[in-house]
């Protein structure tokens, strides 16, 4: 990156301090980010980086050009100026827009630090990152792919159009990978139709996976859908031949050929073609981590950004308004906004865990039971007791003496050494002597006086004004459920005693656990509660064939969750699996759409099938199920103000290089692609009445 | 850098997916384009993927205030899936591709097979070309030394002669100065009579007798036989050049060549009938025909000026913004517009400007105004092209005969075009009809060559 430009350099210099301080604060809060390299770039460079998905070099392809044009237009018309882009790498590289206001730069830095923590600690990112010896090493890998493919495109014996066409075909299938596996685990397969992508040896591996899934705290429904038996089995031993394989791309790489129009036959791929397929597939795995955790990751970054910027005054007073304005715009943008959804869910995770901790302590107060909880316990008293210590809440130059007293008593909330240094600095100032070396700017960075425990108390979720009602809202069922697992009840004589024992960091602890093991699907499934749906006014909508428009379908939390899960499961794409690599005994490929009640976009599916053909070289087939409505039924339904009943019909599309043709679907194949019991339809019965 | 190349590739890929220009002109949204940027919608080239059918999938929304009631109609959220209700259209998203008028003109030429070559009219400047011309005066620094030397050398060659040879002529028996001079001149020696007289006087002094008495040679013929006359060039080669006479008249100063640049100017007068019968759809059709033609001419010429005239029974000039929207209630007298056009065009002498007069209306005109007034005016107003665009013919009353009358009056004249547009699909044909008809403005090209390219695009429906 060009950093010889004076503007950029000056800007970069000015950011050294905020970057260092943000890192220190992030670490004090418990984050463990990858090291981050900050770059300041002008808007054009930023547009380029965005076009390239956050990297400086990618393989040659027109798509980047398209992305660039689009981003440039957005940038120019003020529709979507990008403040930063950070890539998942160790070290992570963060690119900040030169024209950002000072407040924005600081906000962006705090945001980036949180992203870097997420990259480093989320297991789904780990699926890719753990591959390499030195972490993800992403920039280097993408660059290597860029070089390789560029070299191929330049070769005299290779037609560049062919290369691009191949990239087009593979890219169209980039989501048909096995996102739950590391890229290499899904590799070698000996025979078409036989899955053999076992990642460990036998039962141990399977058990380990099952144990891990159990840890995720998922509803049975999602568990079945996401980690169904087939998925599990595919990882265990004793895999049936012809078991559907989710990594369509790997199958095509291993067994696909190339159609040669001259001879009219499938011929073996050139080695360069396999190189290209492999490279693009590998990148798909790299980006899968990002796609699977968009809500969590953005929400996580927004949460910590807001805490550092707002809560810890990382923005100066003069900058705070700009910051607040931008933040509200980010969170306020319409539609289903991953920043907002994520941020709210994270806050919800924190709140629930904190409340659980308080209830846990209160239920151990002598004589308190779930039944008498609300009558016996004065929640106002609890609220007062939970208030942070004034010196902790107001840490800064004014409370220095008080903090010193606490430190003297060995209070774990106070960073005794820092307080000491601040005190001696103050004394020296008073004496007119200048402070030496490591002076602490307590005015600007009061958090330096506190430990993580202190910070947890300072930002305690139940003390925030908007969450004071949280304890009052807790239901008796919740209390009972929690009480069931309690030992050691009646431990505290008084409420005060119980509250004194409350771990203020419980909310954060839970958040850190969750950020390690979840992805968007499991995250939403586990934490999207009734309360959340109600408070956020979330609803589902469906298309009404009778009314010929979209209508609100349900405000039920389960329904909302179901719909959201549809949107995040498998990147929000239908699941496509390889069913047969020797279909009809003619070497044709049969892939199937695992029908979960939601139909395919057939036009796009047909267009995609043509790309599959390019990678298979022989006729390809796609099995799916569509819902057909006959005109009479629709008319009748309209008259009665009902939704028409559709009929599910199995369809097989075939493409052999000419036209896509449509055929009836064999009943036996249909059985193999029908998913059981999952119903994403949220239409109520008396919808249109 | 790689991205530049990727952008070019996208252009190439995007190109083929661009909404067809003709389709854009006849149906597209002309708004958002300006005089210097023309926005043509392009389809985003999205790679297909296996995706859910948007209707089948439904979605999740968030209510602003309070939870909405089930059954309440709702707009699927923006950015969530396709632009609702276009299933089956691959990547229904539109973005805009911006082109400048020159590119637009090129594309239109290509799309319609036009080849209008703009003519230069007004000489706007004389630019300095290379320093290839020379003049007799100029700053010292621009002295062309080569040329100076060459001229000096030429002069030297022209004036130098073999003195000994001429002098020998004086030794011819009986030859006096005049004889020798005549002989020398015959021999092509650039010698003056004075020089010979001088030489004769010197010789007479030396010998003590008149030159006529010297008789070394019997005659000039004998002299020629006896003495080899060596040409000067040979002597210079043999003896070397001792000096070249430099004279001020040999000085040449280099100065830049003057190139006359003709600016290709165009003035376009758009005329529109704004009378009561010109309803919304007709006005729109006019805009669809005129706007792309304006863009096209802007792209073709170095400088383009546009004037807008609307008329009912009276004519007045308006701004572009008003031009397509105005509707008045009055009757129609088309000649009023041409009277104004004539007046406006006085500012743009035909010797210096390419002129286009584009008129549009529904052919209704008062009485015999067309025959008595409009046609004579059209004949008298010099222009590369007069065009009349008839919108929604047959829709109006019996007096809607303007287009027919103009057509029959001018027949196949190459500077008058009549086009008829009754629906958006006719627009590109009309544009072709008009732009492929053009007088060359100077009358030097064989008449009819352009007219022969006419098609019957705007036939009556």
Instruction: Answer whether residue A188 shows pLDDT above 60.
Output: no
Q: For residue B22, what pLDDT is reported?
A: 67
Instruction: Answer whether residue B110 shows pLDDT above 80.
Output: no
Q: For residue A213, what pLDDT is reported?
A: 56
Mention every residue, 6+ apart, whose C-beta is less than 8 A from residue B294. Answer: B268, B270, B304, B306
Task: Compute the nearest-CA separation of A390 from chain B (Å).
Answer: 37
* pLDDT 10s digits, A403-449: 999 999 999 999 999 999 888 888 876 654 444 555 678 888 899 99
* pTM of the predicted model as reported, rounded to 2 decimal places: 0.67
Average pLDDT on A306-335 reads 78
Instruction: Answer whether residue B28 shows pLDDT above 90.
Output: no
The residue among B321, B319, B290, B315 whose CA lies nearest residue B307 is: B319
Per-residue tokens: A440: 């602490």
Average pLDDT on A301-327 reads 82
Instruction: Please name the residue of chain A whose CA is at the shortest distance from the CA of residue B13.
Output: A62
Q: Is residue B96 very low, low, confident or very high in pLDDT (cuts 50, 70, 90)?
A: low
Q: For residue B104, what pLDDT is reported?
A: 80
Q: Which of A1, A41, A64, A66 to mutate to test the interface with B (most CBs of B within 10 A)?
A: A66
Per-residue tokens: A661: 């043709």
User: ipTM of this model?
Assistant: 0.82
Q: Which of B7, B32, B40, B48 to mutate to test the interface with A (most CBs of A within 10 A)?
A: B48
H/E element, B259? strand B258-263
Instruction: Answer whether residue B339 shows pLDDT above 90.
Output: yes
Per DSSP, the residues of A28-58 read HTT--PPPEEEEEE-HHHHHHHHHTTS-S--
Rounded to 5 degrees, φ, ψ at B314 are -115, 165
Percentage of residues in chain B with pLDDT exceeding 70? Answer: 73
* pLDDT 10s digits, B186-196: 877 778 888 88
Q: For residue A347, what pLDDT is reported?
A: 92
Cα–Cα distance for residue pair A271/A281, rounded to 1 Å: 15
Residues of B in contact with A173 (CB under 8 A): 49
Cα–Cα distance for residue pair A674/B108, rounded to 1 Å: 52
More confidently predicted of A12 and A149: A149
The residue among B340, B380, B356 whose CA lies nearest residue B289 is: B356
More confidently predicted of A303 and A4: A303
Q: For residue A9, what pLDDT is reported?
A: 65
Q: Is residue B308 very low, low, confident or very high in pLDDT (cuts 50, 70, 90)?
A: very high
Cα–Cα distance for residue pair A14/A5, rounded to 1 Å: 14
* pLDDT 10s digits, A639-653: 887 888 888 999 999
Highest mean pLDDT among A344-358, A461-475, B327-341: A344-358
Instruction: Answer whether residue B332 shows pLDDT above 90.
Output: no
Which stretches within A588-652 are classed as H helix?
Answer: 602-616, 631-640
* pLDDT 10s digits, A253-267: 989 998 888 888 889
Q: Is residue B460 very low, low, confident or very high in pLDDT (cuts 50, 70, 90)?
A: very low
More confidently predicted of A242 and A177: A177
Instruction: Please name the residue of chain B whose CA is at the shortest distance from the CA of residue A552.
Output: B70
CB pair distance less than 8 Å for A598 and B53: yes
Instruction: Answer whether residue A614 shows pLDDT above 70.
Output: yes
Lowest mean pLDDT across B87-101, B257-271, B330-344: B87-101
Average pLDDT on A127-150 reads 78
CB pair distance less than 8 Å for A60 and B76: no
What's the Cα-to-Cα distance from A343 to each of A8, A124, A305, A326, A524, rounded to whole Å? 32, 19, 10, 15, 12
* pLDDT 10s digits, A663-689: 999 999 998 888 766 678 888 777 665
Q: Which of residues 148-177 of A touch B (CB under 8 A)?
A: 150, 164, 168, 171-176
* pLDDT 10s digits, A334-384: 666 788 889 989 999 999 999 999 999 999 998 888 889 989 899 999 999
**Closest partner CB to B47 (pick from A70, A168, A564):** A168
Q: How far is CA B408 from the centre of its chain?
A: 32
Cα–Cα distance for residue pair B216/B456, rounded to 1 Å: 97
Q: Examine residue A91 and say whether the peptide bond preceding it is cis (omega within 30 degrees of 0).
A: yes
Q: Is residue A396 very low, low, confident or very high in pLDDT (cuts 50, 70, 90)?
A: confident
Instruction: Answer whether residue A7 shows pLDDT above 90.
Output: no
Instruction: Answer whether residue A623 shows pLDDT above 80.
Output: yes
Q: For residue A523, what pLDDT is reported?
A: 93
Cα–Cα distance for residue pair B422/B427, rounded to 1 Å: 8
Task: Compute the nearest-CA separation of B103 from chain A (Å).
Answer: 18
Task: Compute the nearest-CA separation of B108 from chain A (Å).
Answer: 24
Q: For residue B168, what pLDDT is reported?
A: 80
Query: What CATH homologous superfamily does B264-453 map to?
Result: von Willebrand factor, type A domain (3.40.50.410)
Instruction: Answer whether residue A183 shows pLDDT above 90.
Output: no
Q: For residue B453, what pLDDT is reported?
A: 32
Q: Is residue B354 very low, low, confident or very high in pLDDT (cuts 50, 70, 90)?
A: confident
Q: Is residue A212 very low, low, confident or very high in pLDDT (cuts 50, 70, 90)?
A: low
Instruction: Answer whether residue A199 shows pLDDT above 90.
Output: no
Cα–Cα distance for residue pair A601/A571, rounded to 1 Å: 15
Q: For residue A528, what pLDDT is reported?
A: 87
Lowest mean pLDDT across A32-36, A170-174, A282-286, A674-678: A674-678
**Closest partner CB to A684 (pick from B45, B70, B95):** B70
B86–A contact, CB cutoff 8 A: no
Lowest mean pLDDT across A129-133, B215-219, B295-299, B409-413: A129-133
Instruction: Answer whether residue B223 shows pLDDT above 80.
Output: no
Instruction: Answer whether residue B447 shows pLDDT above 80.
Output: no
Task: Compute the nearest-CA separation of A532 from chain B (Å).
Answer: 12
Instruction: Answer whether residue B39 shows pLDDT above 90.
Output: no
Q: Is residue B350 very low, low, confident or very high in pLDDT (cuts 50, 70, 90)?
A: confident
Cα–Cα distance for residue pair A606/A659, rounded to 1 Å: 10
Q: Is residue A219 very low, low, confident or very high in pLDDT (cuts 50, 70, 90)?
A: low
A65, A28 in Cβ contact below 8 A?
no
Q: Is residue B17 very low, low, confident or very high in pLDDT (cuts 50, 70, 90)?
A: very low
Q: Where in chain B is the domain with CATH 3.40.50.410?
A: 264-453
Longest Cα pair distance anywhere in chain A, in angstroms? 95
CB pair distance less than 8 Å for B53 and A601: yes
More confidently predicted of B458 and A687: A687
Q: For residue B112, what pLDDT is reported?
A: 73
Residues of A in contact with B48 (CB under 8 A): 172, 604-605, 607-608, 611
Average pLDDT on A627-641 reads 86
Q: For residue B291, what pLDDT is reported?
A: 87
Q: Is residue B159 very low, low, confident or very high in pLDDT (cuts 50, 70, 90)?
A: confident
More confidently predicted of B120 and A190: B120
Rounded to 5 degrees, φ, ψ at A625 are -125, 135
Percentage of residues in chain A with pLDDT exceeding 70? Answer: 84
Task: Compute the nearest-CA separation of B323 from chain A (Å).
Answer: 28
CB pair distance less than 8 Å for A69 and B68: no
Q: Other C-beta atoms within 10 Å of B43: how many?
A: 18
Q: Which of residues 9-38 of B touch A (CB under 8 A)?
A: 9-14
**Closest partner CB to A608 (pick from B49, B55, B87):** B49
Q: For residue A1, what pLDDT is reported?
A: 45
CB pair distance less than 8 Å for A603 and B6: no
More confidently predicted of A518 and A187: A518
Average pLDDT on B320-336 reads 84
**What average pLDDT is seen over chain B?**
75
Q: For residue A522, what pLDDT is reported?
A: 92
A65–B contact, CB cutoff 8 A: yes
Q: Is residue B97 very low, low, confident or very high in pLDDT (cuts 50, 70, 90)?
A: low
CB pair distance less than 8 Å for A150 and B2: yes
Q: Which of residues 612-641 of A touch B (CB under 8 A)?
A: 627
More confidently predicted of A616 and A194: A616
CB pair distance less than 8 Å for B62 and A539: yes
Q: Is residue B351 very low, low, confident or very high in pLDDT (cuts 50, 70, 90)?
A: confident
Lowest mean pLDDT across A210-214, B47-51, B252-256: A210-214
A220–B contact, CB cutoff 8 A: no
Q: For residue A364, what pLDDT is reported?
A: 92
Residues of A in contact with B6 (CB under 8 A): 51, 60-65, 68
Residues of B in contact with A175 (CB under 8 A): 49-50
> Interior CA angle at A415 toward A412 and A419, to 5°?
130
Residues of B in contact with A593 (CB under 8 A): 50
Task: Compute the nearest-CA separation of B31 from chain A (Å).
Answer: 17
């Amino acid at each position: 990156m060009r950093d010889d430009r004076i503007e950029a350099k000056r800007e970069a210099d000015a950011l050294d301090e905020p970057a260092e301080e943000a890192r220190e604060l992030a670490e004090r809060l418990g984050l463990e980010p990858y090291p981050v390299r900050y770059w300041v770039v002008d808007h054009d460079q930023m547009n380029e980086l965005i076009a390239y998905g956050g990297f400086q070099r990618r393989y040659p392809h027109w798509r980047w050009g398209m992305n660039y044009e689009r981003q440039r237009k957005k940038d120019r018309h003020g529709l979507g100026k990008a403040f930063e882009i950070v890539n998942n790498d160790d070290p992570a590289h963060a690119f900040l827009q030169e024209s950002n206001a000072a407040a924005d730069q600081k906000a962006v830095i705090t945001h980036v630090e949180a992203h870097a923590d997420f990259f480093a600690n989320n297991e789904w990112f780990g699926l890719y990152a753990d591959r390499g010896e030195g972490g993800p090493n992403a920039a280097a890998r993408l660059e290597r792919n860029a070089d390789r493919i560029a070299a191929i495109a330049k070769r005299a014996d290779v037609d560049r159009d062919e290369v691009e066409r191949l990239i087009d075909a593979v890219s169209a299938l980039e989501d048909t990978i096995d996102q739950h596996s590391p890229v290499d685990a899904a590799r070698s397969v000996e025979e078409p139709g036989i899955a053999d992508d076992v990642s460990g040896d036998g039962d141990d591996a399977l058990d380990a996976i099952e144990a891990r899934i159990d840890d995720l705290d998922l509803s049975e429904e999602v568990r079945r859908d996401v980690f169904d038996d087939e998925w599990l089995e595919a990882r265990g031993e004793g895999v049936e031949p012809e078991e559907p394989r989710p990594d369509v791309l790997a199958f095509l790489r291993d067994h696909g050929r190339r159609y040669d129009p001259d001879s009219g036959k499938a011929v073996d791929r050139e080695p360069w073609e396999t190189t290209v397929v492999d490279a693009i597939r590998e990148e798909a795995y790299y980006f899968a981590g990002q796609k699977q955790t968009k809500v969590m990751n953005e929400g996580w970054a927004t949460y910590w950004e807001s805490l550092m910027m707002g809560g810890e005054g990382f923005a100066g007073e003069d900058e705070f308004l700009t910051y607040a304005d931008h933040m509200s715009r980010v969170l306020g943008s319409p539609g289903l906004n991953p920043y907002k959804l994520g941020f709210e869910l994270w806050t919800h995770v924190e709140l629930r865990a904190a409340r659980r901790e308080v209830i846990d302590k209160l239920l151990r107060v002598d004589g308190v039971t779930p039944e008498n909880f609300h009558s016996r316990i004065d929640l106002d008293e609890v609220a007062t007791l939970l208030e942070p210590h004034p010196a902790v809440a107001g840490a800064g130059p004014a409370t220095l003496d008080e903090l010193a007293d606490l430190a003297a008593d060995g209070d774990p909330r106070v960073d005794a050494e820092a307080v000491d240094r601040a005190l001696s600095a103050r004394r020296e100032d008073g004496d007119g002597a200048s402070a030496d070396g490591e002076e602490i700017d307590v005015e600007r960075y009061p958090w330096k006086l506190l430990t993580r425990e202190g910070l947890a108390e300072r930002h305690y979720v139940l003390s925030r004004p908007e969450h004071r009602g949280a304890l009052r809202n807790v239901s008796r069922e919740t209390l009972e459920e929690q009480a069931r697992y309690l030992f050691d009840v009646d431990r505290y004589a008084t409420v005060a005693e119980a509250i004194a024992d409350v771990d203020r960091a419980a909310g954060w602890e839970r958040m850190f656990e969750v950020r390690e093991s979840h992805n968007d699907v499991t995250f939403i499934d586990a934490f999207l509660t009734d309360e959340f749906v109600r408070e956020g006014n979330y609803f589902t909508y469906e298309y009404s064939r009778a009314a010929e428009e979209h209508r609100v379908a349900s405000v039920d939390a389960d329904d909302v969750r179901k719909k959201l899960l549809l949107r995040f499961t498998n990147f929000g794409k239908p699941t496509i699996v390889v069913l047969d690599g020797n279909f009809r005994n003619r070497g044709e490929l049969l892939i199937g759409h695992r029908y979960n009640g939601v139909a395919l976009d057939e036009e796009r599916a047909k267009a995609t099938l043509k790309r599959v053909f390019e990678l298979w070289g022989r006729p390809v087939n796609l099995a799916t199920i569509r819902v057909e409505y006959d005109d009479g039924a629709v008319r009748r339904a309209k008259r009665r103000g009902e939704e028409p009943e559709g009929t599910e019909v199995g369809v097989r599309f075939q493409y052999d290089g000419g036209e896509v043709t449509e055929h009836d679907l064999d009943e036996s194949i249909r059985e193999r692609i029908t998913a059981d019991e999952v119903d994403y339809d949220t239409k109520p019965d008396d919808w249109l009445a | 850098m790689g991205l530049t190349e990727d952008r070019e590739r996208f252009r190439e890929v995007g190109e083929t997916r661009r909404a067809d220009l003709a389709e854009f002109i006849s149906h597209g949204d002309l708004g958002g384009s300006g005089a210097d940027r023309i926005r043509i919608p392009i389809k985003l080239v999205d790679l297909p993927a296996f995706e859910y059918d948007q209707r089948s999938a439904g979605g999740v929304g968030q209510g602003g205030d309070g939870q909405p009631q089930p059954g309440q109609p709702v707009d699927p959220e923006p950015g969530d899936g396709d632009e609702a209700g276009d299933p089956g259209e691959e990547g229904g998203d539109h973005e805009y591709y911006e082109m400048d008028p020159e590119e637009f003109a090129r594309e239109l030429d290509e799309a319609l097979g036009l080849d209008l070559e703009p003519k230069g009219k007004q000489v706007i400047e004389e630019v300095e070309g290379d320093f290839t011309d020379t003049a007799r005066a100029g700053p010292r620094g621009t002295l062309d030394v080569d040329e100076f030397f060459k001229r000096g050398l030429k002069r030297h060659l022209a004036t130098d002669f073999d003195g000994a040879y001429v002098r020998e002529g004086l030794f011819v028996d009986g030859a006096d100065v005049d004889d020798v001079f005549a002989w020398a001149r015959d021999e092509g020696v650039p010698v003056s009579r004075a020089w010979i007289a001088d030489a004769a006087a010197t010789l007479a002094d030396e010998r003590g007798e008149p030159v006529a008495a010297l008789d070394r040679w019997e005659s000039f013929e004998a002299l020629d036989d006896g003495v080899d006359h060596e040409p000067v060039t040979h002597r210079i080669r043999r003896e070397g050049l001792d000096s070249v006479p430099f004279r001020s008249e040999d000085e040449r100063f280099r100065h830049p060549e003057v190139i006359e640049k003709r600016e290709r100017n165009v003035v376009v007068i758009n005329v529109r009938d704004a009378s009561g019968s010109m309803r919304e759809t007709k006005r729109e059709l006019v805009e669809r025909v005129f706007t792309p033609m304006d863009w096209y001419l802007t792209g073709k010429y170095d400088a383009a000026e546009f004037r807008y005239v609307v008329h009912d029974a009276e004519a007045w000039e308006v701004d572009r913004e008003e031009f397509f929207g105005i509707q008045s209630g009055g009757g129609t007298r088309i000649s009023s517009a041409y009277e104004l056009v004539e007046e406006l065009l006085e500012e743009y002498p035909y010797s210096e400007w390419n002129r286009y007069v584009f008129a549009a209306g529904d052919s209704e005109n008062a009485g015999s105004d067309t025959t008595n007034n409009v046609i004579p005016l059209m004949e008298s107003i010099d222009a590369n092209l007069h065009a009349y665009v008839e919108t929604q013919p047959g829709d109006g009353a019996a007096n809607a005969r303007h287009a027919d009358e103009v057509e029959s009056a001018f027949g196949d004249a190459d500077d008058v075009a009549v086009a008829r547009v009754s629906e958006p699909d006719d627009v590109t044909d009309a544009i072709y009809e008009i732009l492929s008809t053009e007088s060359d403005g100077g009358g030097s090209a064989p008449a009819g060559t352009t007219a022969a390219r006419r098609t019957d695009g705007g036939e009556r429906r």
